[in-house]
Structure 1
Amino acid sequence: MKKLKVKGLILKKKEVGEANLLITIFSQEYGKLVGMAYGIRKSKKRNVASLNPLNIVEMLITEKNNYHIIDETETIKVFNNITKNIEKLEIALYILDSVEKIYDLSYENHIFFDKILEILDYIDGIKSMTEEYKYYIGVSFLRRIMIEHGIYDKMELKEILGERLGKVYDNLVKINGENSNNLEKIQNELKKYSKALKRITYFFEKYININLQVNLEIKKFVVEGI
């Protein structure tokens, strides 16, 4: 039995019994972990809200035979602006669901952990988000997943998308790069590519789902399609 001090992002919570919570966390130190917070829903001393998905927390965890018990929690950051905006919340929850599905327990990758927090910080910080830009962030996130799993070759990327959508994707990246300091202009430009953005998202999802044996589905998180 040992004690772990963990900093991480809450991906998922599930009520167990009358008072317990089963928590999935993507941690900086140990990768993805699942732990039980016993009695927390009835405790007057422990803050149950600290274990809401999207929170960044520090935890003290007891590990015994690969089983984790969450003893203490402290909230480090809450993405308040994401929770107040439906477009932001949809894509943020999609990112959490994707990380939870893709990465195995104890998968450790400091760079990817920092990248996820960077993406969420960005979403939280921008003033507004159109539906098209929501899909663009989704596409960029899926591309990052592909890079993490060895898909660097642009020719391979075009094989996934096909020639026409491959050219559209290149144009989308160019629009974002040339207007990196003008979010309003980027979002206005992306309105021309509503249907294409949706199709690119689904092609990337299909490729990842087949190769990683998962089931990513942005449609489950988007209230209204483009």
Structure 2
Amino acid sequence: MDFKYSGIILNKKDVGEADRIYTIFTLEAGKIRVLGKGVRRPNAKLAGHLEPLTCAEIFVAKGKGMGKITGSIVTDNLVGLKADLDSLSNIFYSFGILEKIISEQEEDREVFYLLLEYLQSAEKISVKTADKCKKDILMLGFLFKLLAEAGYCFEVEKCVLCGKKLKLEKNYFSAARSGILCGSCAKEEGGKIVIENESIKFIRIFLKNKIENLVKLSANRKNINNLKMVMKEFLEWIVK
């Protein structure tokens, strides 16, 4: 039986003498892994339509075992994005996170459109500016929104222990508590890290706005490094 998917190709892995396994995030079935038979042969035409960071219509024949790709039509090659090394690094890092936290064969249209919007917005930024901070803040916005869509949203309005509204003081992030601790409650807690007040503001903005609106944000390297540290702590707790 043949199936047609609208997909975003995340990665590829060589197997056998001339084959590849592709990981694709699709509108219809979420994350899938399918086989590209013979795509590594010198004259294989299909390989050029299956490069990572490509949006395509994918045709898959399903029988026993893994589905096999029978055709692919590129809908967006994201050429501007592929030419920008800073953006490429961010995109493939984001793909890696998505693969770790999203299960296979689970339709999730919200995540699909979130990912598509991120790629389109990242391409616009890569064409307009060389400012790495803007590219990093967009990536972080996508990742915080992705975690929220996957059910890993955390509290950024009030202390997760006492419930009081957060003040402009020294606050802390706790991955185990899935949120922010005020200075008083943090005294008896282990495994916490400082979260800057600007970082809290950014996360609130991320969660309340569409990706396309995040391209307007500006941040300095200190803000970005603190947000990256918070993201790293949370991801390590999620995937451990």
TM-score (norm: length of structure 2): 0.74
The question of whether the paired residues in 2 share the 8 Å contact of 1:146 and 1:208 is answered with no
Query: CA offset at residue 209 of structure 1?
Result: 2.6
- What secondary structure sits across from 2:11 in the alignment? strand
Query: CA offset at residue 182 of structure 1?
Result: 8.5
The structure that is helix-richer by fraction is: 1
- What secondary structure sits across from 1:4 in the alignment? strand
Max Rg structure: 2
The question of whether the paired residues in 1 share the 8 Å contact of 2:138 and 2:215 is answered with no
Q: 1:116 to 1:170 in 2, by over 3 A?
A: same
For residues 118-137 of structure 1, the aligned pairs below 5 Å read 118-126=117-125, 127-137=128-138
| Matching residue's letter, 2:153 | I
Query: CA offset at residue 174 of structure 1?
Result: 8.2
| Matching residue's letter, 1:167 | N
Q: Which residue does 1:167 correspond to in 2? A: 197
For residues 33-112 of structure 1, the aligned pairs below 5 Å read 33-42=32-41, 44=43, 46-112=45-111
Q: 1:75 to 1:104 in 2, by over 3 A?
A: same
| Matching residue's letter, 2:138 | I
Q: Which residue does 1:151 correspond to in 2? A: 153
Root-mean-square deviation (CA), in Å? 2.7
TM-score (norm: length of structure 1): 0.79
Residues 23-66 of structure 1 deviation map (CA, whole Å, 9 limit, x = unaligned): 11001001111111111222636331211110011111112245
Q: Which residue does 2:190 correspond to in 1? A: none
- What secondary structure sits across from 1:67 in the alignment? coil
Query: CA offset at residue 93 of structure 1?
Result: 1.4
Q: 1:54 to 1:146 in 2, by over 3 A?
A: same
For residues 105 and 28 of structure 1, what CA distance do their matches in structure 2 show?
A: 12
1:205 lines up with 2:207 in the alignment? no
Q: 1:112 to 1:15 in 2, by over 3 A?
A: same
Query: CA offset at residue 204 of structure 1?
Result: 1.7
- What secondary structure sits across from 1:41 in the alignment? coil
For residues 123 and 60 of structure 2, what CA distance do their matches in structure 1 show?
A: 28
Query: CA offset at residue 211 of structure 1?
Result: 2.2
Q: Which runs of 5+ in 1 are unaligned?
A: 214-226
| Matching residue's letter, 1:40 | V
The question of whether the paired residues in 2 share the 8 Å contact of 1:4 and 1:60 is answered with yes
Which segment drifts farther, 48-57 or 160-169?
Answer: 160-169
- What secondary structure sits across from 2:45 in the alignment? coil
Q: Which runs of 5+ in 2 are unaligned?
A: 161-165, 167-171, 175-179, 183-193
